[in-house]
Structure 1
Amino acid sequence: MSATLPETVAEKIIEDKIVEWEAKKSGRSQTRPAIGAFPFIAISRDYGCLEEKLIPLFEKTFQWKVYGRNLLDHIASRDALNRSFIETLDEHHVNQLDRWVQYLISSGSVRPDEYLIKLSKLMKVIVTHENAIFVGRGAHYILADKPHGVFVKLTASFEYRANHIARLKKISQTEAEAVVRHIDRERQEFIQHHFKRDIEDASHFDIALNTQSIPAETLCQLVARVLEIKTSSTL
């Protein structure tokens, strides 16, 4: 995956989603049932775990939209877009959304800062409308109370990840090791700052997968199987 999502691409994705969800809203039953959630996948990954290959493969395999850091941050940072996403819910469900976010804060799942509240609402609106794949941004904490999702950790040894980044970016091994350490530290600090959690705590995930030893296609099959088991148990 590219490090930066072009703004024009992000805007087109968002515009299409808002139009699609508004159309669903207008045709929705007026019985106003409790707000639900579609099955989803939340992926946390150590840097250098072949994510540039694996995330597109997950998207192709499941045929679900991927919401990564760039797209989520793009929406969260623009108040008009943020409001447009939320407005695809009716007033009844918007009130439920607010109660859900307050629950996340009161339970200690997220901190009560503006960015994280926006991010939490975005993820909730997305899973209310469609299946989705979330990459990073603490989705496994924000959506932890939703039984319809699979929480995945992609990992590999430091040496393997540094070797991969050296080849991918055509830099020296020493430079690659420094890059991997830096991004690992950034991700750890993000989780610690916003969620007060240890990113290495495996109890937050349904399945941890070693991308160094498991073929990419098998990784997708394993996640699909766990998703099948979890969704069938919640019916």
Structure 2
Amino acid sequence: MKAIQQIIEEQVRRWEILRKEKAEAKTMPVITLSREPGSGGRPVAQAVADRLGLDLFDNKIINAMAQNADTSTRVIRTLDERGVSMIEDWVSAAISERHLWPDEVLHVLMKVVGTIGRHGGAIIVGRGANFILPPESRFRVRIIAPLERRISRVAETYGVSQNDAKRRVLRTESDRKAFVRKYFHSDIGDPNHYDMVLNTGTLSIESAAAAICAGVG
């Protein structure tokens, strides 16, 4: 697999080329995909990206974009001046109106996710993207599965015991809930925050991907 920094560099170059060519942003809503740990959300996202030809941004890529000042600046500057100004105004207004946690981490994260949203043609996994992008530019998906099924999937994927898998699932679930609660004052599991909720306890990865593709189309 490519290193994360290489993936980001290639993505930024593509966006820079589009900016210079003044290409129109893709009109398809950005798909945000939230998932319970062990539910298979990442493979579902990959399957959707492959089907629709979307750029895939998982939490590792988003974190790398947002946590490095030089990288986040380059990402945001792939927009033209009007786009950068719109993102900055929108982020400031969103933080103020929704009384969000006003720290630099959230500011940069929202700008990076907002930049991806402006470019379009993407699916974003995690990082509270469904709480960040405005309604007109997003399609929000939540992937769930029964706890025992998630534990078994993690145990099989990582070659660990059921007990170790359960600890991983519960710890990751707690961390994600805390992140969304802290920064967005919301319950990550509330179905009202999503346009589609899919259960991979009963749906295969491909069936879930097909449902998302049909929904966003």
- Structure 2 residue 168 is matched with structure 1 residue 179: yes
Query: Which of the residues 84, 90, 93 maps onto 1:100?
Result: 90
User: What is the TM-score normalised by the length of structure 2?
Assistant: 0.91
After superposition, the Cα gap between the structure-2 partners of 1:189 and 1:167, relative to the gap in structure 1 and judged at 3 Å, is same
In structure 2, the residue matched to 1:17 is 11
The 2-side partners of 1:134 and 1:111 are apart by 21
State which drifts further: 79-88 or 51-60.
51-60
Residue pair 1:59, 1:133 contacting (<8 A) in 2 also: yes
Give the structure 2 partner of residue 163 of structure 1. 152
Deviation at 1:37, TM superposition (A): 6.2
Tell me the equivalent position of 1:61: 51
Secondary structure of the residue aligned to 2:136 is: coil
Asked whether the 8 Å contact 2:35–2:41 carries over to 1, the reply is: yes
Could you tell me how far 1:197 is from its partner in structure 2?
0.7
Q: CA 1:83–1:37 in 2, change beyond 3 Å: closer, same or farther?
A: farther
Q: CA deviation at 1:54?
A: 2.2
Of the two, which has the highest radius of gyration? Answer: 1
Kindly state the Cα deviation for residue 149 of structure 1 after the two structures are TM-superposed: 2.1
CA RMSD, Structure 1 to Structure 2 (Å): 2.1
Q: How far apart are the structure 2 equivalents of 1:101 and 1:188?
A: 22
User: 1:224 maps to which residue?
Assistant: 213
Q: Which moved more, 1:90-99 or 1:105-114?
A: 105-114
- Output the CA distance in 1 between the equivalents of 2:186 and 2:207: 29
| Number of the residue aligned with 1:214 | 203
Residue 151 of structure 1 pairs with residue 145 of structure 2: no
1:192 equivalent to 2:186? Answer no
| Cα deviation code 1:106-147 (max 9, x no counterpart) | 22174221111111111111121231110000001001x232
Question: Which structure 1 segments of 5+ residues have no match?
Answer: 1-5, 229-235
Q: For residues 23-78 of structure 1, what are the alpha-carbon distances to aligned partners after superposition, in whole Å with 9 as ceiling and x for unaligned? A: 2222328xxx9x99652110000011123532322221122111111111111111
The residue matched to 2:123 in structure 1 has which SS? strand
The CA distance in 2 between the partners of 1:200 and 1:185, in whole Å, is 11
Residue matched to 1:232: none
On the 8 A contact 1:105/1:112 being kept in 2, the answer is yes
Structure 1 residue 158: deviation in Å?
Answer: 0.8
Letter matched to residue 26 of structure 1: K
For structure 2, which runs of at least 5 residues remain unmatched after alignment? none
Query: How many residues align structurally?
Result: 217
Structure 1's consecutive aligned runs of 4 or more residues displaced over 6 angstroms after TM superposition are none
Question: Which residue does the alignment assign to 2:31?
Answer: 41
